[in-house]
Amino acid sequence: GQEQQDGEEYLFKIVLIGDSAVGKSNLLSRFARNEFDSNSKATIGVEFQTQAVEIDGKEVKAQIWDTAGQERFRAVTSAYYRGAVGALVVYDITRRSSFDSVKRWLDELSKINPQWYNHAVHCDTAVARMLVGNKCDLENIRDVSTEEGKSLAEEEGLFFMETSALDATNVQTAFEIVIREIHNNIS
Ligand code: GDP
Ligand code: MG
């Protein structure tokens, strides 16, 4: 990797979680490669993608992990969460069941990742988590209001954003807010 001027190098692990078909893989491909796949199948076969972002003039690298379809079998393993310092918890604004699953995903995340608490103890703020309501291009068939997303995020202490991997709305911003928050927590 590329060294920072002061010799430090940042590489942050961020995990994507949420029900199957909410658009996690497409959010990642939009962010990392500016690509969208309308026929995307469960597995693309990529565990994670590393993406460089500039924060306050420094290059920060995010290693973003995608579940690659494991969520179908509720088989996301502890290795998936291990070492993560950020998470995007994704639901589909057109599918209420995926919104109802958010709390379960948050539970799983906190149970499985003991560093989560350790890290929080050593920092003013907890690890960066963002609630993402994806597919906001499908306004006509929306099933979860923006207000509901916002208030759940407030309740759980998460950032919140509605995105569209299809038309690229807020995708860059969502990842960058999480990466910036991690950077702030650590430095
Ligand atoms: P994952 O299972 O959570 O990784 O979801 P995918 O990224 O595979 O997406 C599931 C389906 O939703 C695919 O058919 C995508 O083309 C579609 N999709 C993903 N993001 C969006 C979006 O922002 N808008 C719309 N309209 N469709 C999307
Ligand atoms: Mg996927």
Residue with tokens 């994704």: 90
Q: Is the dihedral of CA 173, 175, 179, 184 positive or negative?
A: positive
Burial of residue 87, with CB atoms counted within 10 A of its CB: 0-12 exposed, 13-18 middle, 19 or more buried: buried
Residues with CB under 6 A from ligand 1: 20-26, 38, 40, 134-135, 137-138, 164-166
Q: For the beta carbon of residue 138, count every other beta carbon within 10 angstroms.
A: 15
Q: pTM score, two decimals?
A: 0.89
Helices and strands in the chain: count of H runs, count of E runs: 7, 6
Q: Give me the average pLDDT of each 10-residue run along the chain (187 residues).
A: 53 92 94 86 67 88 85 69 91 98 90 53 64 98 98 96 98 96 82
What pLDDT is attached to residue 3?
Answer: 46
Residues, beta carbon < 5 Å, ion ligand 2: 24-25
What pLDDT is attached to residue 122?
Answer: 45
